[in-house]
Chain A
Amino acid sequence: MINRQLVRHIDWVLIGILLLNSIIGVAFIYSCSHYLPGNYYLKQIFWIFISLVALFLFLFFDYHFLADYSYLMYGLLISTLCGILVFGKLVAGTKSWIRFPFFQIQPSEITKVVVILVLARYFSKRQKELLSFTDLIISGVLFLLPVFLIALQPDLGTALSFLPIYLGALILGGINKKFILFLLIFSMLFGFVGWKYFLKDYQRTRLTTLVSPNKDPLGAGYHIIQSKIAIGSGGVKGKGYKKGTQSQLRFLPARHTDFIFSVIGEEFGFIGVIAVILAYALFVFRLFHSAFMSRDRVGIYIVFMVSMMITCQFFINVLMTIGFLPIAGIPLPLISYGGSSLLANYLAVSLVLNVKMRRFVNV
């Protein structure tokens, strides 16, 4: 299944940049959690190792093979998601974890990789210039089913982070202007119903706070204000590694997960922010660029959806820390603490490597 020639075509530079970003993550996880019990940074290193092994193992399977079997995997994961809704135990208010003796895992994160494969498989068969209405409905159902199950857990953050994947598929598939109008109306309707009946109170306050954070500075706007103060007071050079004690930040409950970029901004200032953004930009554009080195349509779809997923999550998370987007519970891919999301992102990158190394027909 794999031979020396394939190994030669592995994009080692991409793996290097991937690791670079992961190590940046470990450094900042250590900075803001070393005085807490739990040894988060060690756990993260452990997960990087596991994910890297998984990444290489995943390369053994030709992406065509994976795409062909994606419906089967899709079915399995949907049953798993249903299963934990019924049998799962509540952890921190959601039923999104499967517990193992030494660790726990969120199947919802892994679902992303499978959804990418399913959508790539489906859309690569549509070779017209624009998508038909039927295509839209079928793919929409394929996509919304897992998202809906995850939203029920309830884990709206993760559910939300699926959107860029589908968006990517639609961009490539091409959509009629009429469809865009339809989607807009549909999403507004959906948004209205959601706001009225589905969102929890705290989620509603988060959205209103975004518009005017100073209305309730000690309440809901608190996290946004504190995060902005932390980043702003970092200045050009920052306050130094581990010295970002701008005390406020320790009251952000998720400083080693969702708010890790605030820590970077505070401790390394504008220079650090630029450096991390640059390292990240290198990473995501190398991902996007891989689309041009794909052999076929299904490959392009895979590469593009992976790139969209990671890039959009990055933007959503960073814009959240400076108060441009509501606090959505979306981690910074590769950098935030969290094993399942790390594993999912590594597997996604593995798919890109997979497409890239099998770009020549006759191997």
Chain B
Amino acid sequence: MNHNSIYEDLTIVLKRVKNTQILFKVLFVLLVVSFWKIQILEYQKYWKKSEANRMREIMLSPQRGLITDRNGVIIAKNIACFKASIIKENSQDLDVSYEKISYLLNLEEDVLRKRVERFQSVPLFYPIVVKDNLTQEEISRIEARQLEFPELMIEVEPKRFYPFNTFAAHIIGYLQEISQEDIKNNKYSEKGIGDLIGKTGIEKQYESILVGKKGKVLEIVDSSGRKKGELLREEPVKGKDIRLSLDFDLQKKAEDLLDGREGAIIVLNPKTGEILAMVSYPSFDPNKFINRFSPEEWQEIASSPDFPLENRVIRGLYSPGSIFKLAMALAALDLNEITEKTSFICNGSILIYGHPFSCWYKPGHGPVNLTSAIQHSCNIYFYLLGKNLGIENIAKYAKEFGFGTKTGIDLPEEKNGLVPDPRWKEEVKKANWFPGETISVSIGQGPLLVTPLQTADFTALIANRGKPVNPHLVIQEEKNEFKTPITREIQTKIDWSSKRKLFEKVIEGMWKSVNAGGTGRLALIDGYDICGKTGSTQIISTSTIKKLGDQIIEIKTHSWFAGFAPKDNPKVVVTVLVEYGGMGGQTAAPIARQLFTLFKEKYD
């Protein structure tokens, strides 16, 4: 392009620009005149219209999807509930409104004021819920005086209701009012002020499926809040139902068995990973949380010293104790460190690395091989295995069996647990690994921490002779329909499928533990080949026990039982943990026995 066009004659073009400019100047003046007409001359007319013809948008809450057990027993449903809201815009004088309404609704004026002031940032036309769960009497009292209170509005909403109160509370979770931060962060796209959302459990995990879709009504009202017409109505859409793999009877039985004792129980199907029962005690009543207005009660439960809100199954961290001996045995067999014939002598105590380590059975078990070591839970045998394997191998196999990582169950906020190794100690504790710690870890003590669910998951892996499963609560086919991906791809680094024999050897020991007078004998049911392993975990270290001397008898240990049945073709895994339950064989095993009994009656 020739850029030297500076001498061309541009006067005609510039004249046209000038004319257009003049045209727009006129248009700007006309625009100002139009606004003058609308805003100044016709102001009265529009102001009246704006007063007489207000719009009101009412959200219609959808019904949340039901939650049922595997046989259709409804665990979470909805009931109708009335709530009262204040619309600030319709109030002549907010102070007077507070005073009168607090009297009408039997609320403290301060509480009411604070409640409304919490929602400073919302527009004046937005209804702010000030009381829910209205009684019939309150409703008629308000309706009778509706004309006096255009700022007060009553709406019906479906309210979540858990008919069995504390039943499966940790699994189901509870709802609470969405926080201002969650709204600001746009975490829940469809949710607004005053809406309730799932805060834990299934209610949180499957929020997007359960929630449904809001509807709304657009109404024309006059300045005193009387409805004059309806512009638009969109019906809400009910959320999808969720069927859990839980079995109501097993869950109920497990809850009854644990009642009064802090601990956790898991019953699951080792073939599919479906959870049949999952109990954490102490529990809470989720109905108490579905309430916008009693933070005190919530605070009380949340800050209680025995942590009733915590789901111990996925968030409680415990030493696995003797249960871990199963992992040790499998590791040693796989590394050809031992065969089933290898035996050691147990004298009740042994000196390793210059420190004495003792067996729980003071007189000593005498010569023990793999089967009898598991059957009687001999410590000495596993101390020696641990010494031979070394911590790196132990950690490698523990991780292989799923310890130290989440199982990926469909519940929020699962914990990882901890598989310690020298690198961990260096990074976190800034200290060197002591050989003595390896010895502690080899009987499931020391810094090793697992969740009860990881233990159940591990038991299922043994029952399956090496095939891992994904524990889950929502039945898989239905979960696929929701298009939620499985949270964890199960993978073991080692291919166990060709090593079924290793498992058979360990399972033999577990069978004898229950059926041949071993530590698990109290779980015995005639004619049902139960295999199991007990565990009792010291809550304080051995050195402290020594200092305490004779008082040791007073200190109780956590009590574990992990088992499955039948021995061949296993159908059920039961894992029990009782905090401060004493020896695993005495407390946890009988609980497991009752659950096996019920399972056998119902499913076999």
Contacts and interface: CB of A to CB of B under 8 A. Distances in A.
Interface stretch (A142-150, A155-163, A247-255, A336-344): A247-255
B12 A129 contact: yes
A233 B186 contact: no
B58 interface: no
A124 B149 CA distance: 70
Contacts, number: 144
Contacts of A361: 6
B92 interface: no
Given A232-B50, A247-B54, 20 more contacts: A35-B123, A37-B183, A64-B3, A127-B8, A226-B55, A233-B47, A235-B39, A245-B124, A248-B53, A269-B39, A270-B40, A273-B39, A274-B32, A285-B24, A288-B17, A289-B21, A296-B10, A319-B31, A322-B35, A361-B6
Contacts of B122: 35
Interface in B4-35: 5-6, 8, 10, 12-14, 16-17, 20-21, 24-25, 27-28, 31-32, 34-35
The range of chain B's interface size is: 35 or more
B89 interface: yes
B551 interface: no
B128 to A, nearest CB: 12
Contacts of B17: 172, 288, 291-292, 300, 304
A68 interface: yes
A121 B40 CA distance: 47
A206 interface: no
27 contacts: A35-B122, A37-B184, A38-B186, A67-B1, A168-B20, A228-B38, A228-B46, A232-B45, A232-B47, A233-B49, A245-B123, A245-B125, A247-B54, A247-B55, A250-B123, A251-B55, A265-B35, A274-B32, A285-B24, A288-B24, A292-B14, A304-B17, A311-B24, A318-B31, A319-B31, A322-B34, A361-B6
A229 B50 contact: yes
A212 to B, nearest CB: 17
Interface in A165-208: 168, 171-172, 174
B186 A172 contact: no
Interface of A: 34-35, 37-39, 64, 67-68, 121, 127, 129, 168, 171-172, 174, 218, 222, 226, 228-236, 243, 245-248, 250-251, 265, 269-270, 273-274, 277, 281, 284-285, 288-289, 291-292, 295-297, 300, 304, 308, 311, 315, 318-319, 322, 324, 361
A163 to B, nearest CB: 15
B231 interface: yes
B45 A285 contact: no
Given A232-B45, A247-B125, A300-B17, A324 B12 contact: no
Given A218-B231, A288-B20, A297-B13, A265 B6 contact: no
Contacts of A300: 10, 13-14, 17
B57 interface: yes
Interface string B164-189: 00000000000000000001101001
Contacts of A234: 39
B208 to A, nearest CB: 16
Contacts of B126: 35
B153 to A, nearest CB: 14
The A contact surface, by secondary structure, is helix
Interface string B183-226: 11010010010000000000000000000000000100000000
B341 to A, nearest CB: 61
9 A-B pairs with least C-beta separation = A232-B46, A233-B50, A37-B186, A270-B39, A247-B125, A245-B124, A291-B17, A233-B46, A233-B47
B121 interface: yes
A236 B39 contact: yes
B36 interface: yes
A243 B17 CA distance: 42
Contacts of A289: 21
A295 B14 CA distance: 12
B353 interface: no
Nearest to B221: A247
Given A295-B6, A311-B24, A248 B50 contact: yes
Contacts of A245: 89, 123-125
B366 interface: no
Interface string B119-134: 0011111100000000
Interface of B: 1, 3, 5-6, 8, 10, 12-14, 16-17, 20-21, 24-25, 27-28, 31-32, 34-36, 38-40, 42-43, 45-47, 49-50, 53-57, 89, 121-126, 183-184, 186, 189, 192, 218, 229, 231
Contacts of B189: 37
A288 B19 CA distance: 11
A273 B12 contact: no
A222 B220 CA distance: 12
B38 A322 contact: yes
Contacts of A318: 31
B123 A246 contact: no
A231 B89 contact: no
A229 B39 CA distance: 9
Contact of A172 (B6, B13, B47, B121): B13
Contacts of B39: 231-232, 234-236, 265, 269-270, 273
Contacts of B125: 245, 247, 250
A6 B5 CA distance: 20
A297 B10 contact: yes
Contacts of B186: 37-39
A311 B34 CA distance: 17
Residue of A285, A296, A319 contacting most chain B CB atoms (<10 Å): A296
A64 B2 CA distance: 9
B47 A291 contact: no
Contacts of A235: 39-40, 43, 47
B35 A64 contact: no
Contacts of A226: 55
A39 B184 CA distance: 8
A269 B40 CA distance: 9
Contacts of A68: 1
Q: Which has the most chain A C-beta neighbours within 10 Å: B10, B25, B122?
A: B10
A228 to B, nearest CB: 7
A250 B31 contact: no
Contacts of B25: 285
A343 B229 CA distance: 43
Contacts of A129: 12
Nearest to B19: A171
A206 B422 CA distance: 74
A43 to B, nearest CB: 11
Nearest to B6: A361
A270 B49 contact: no
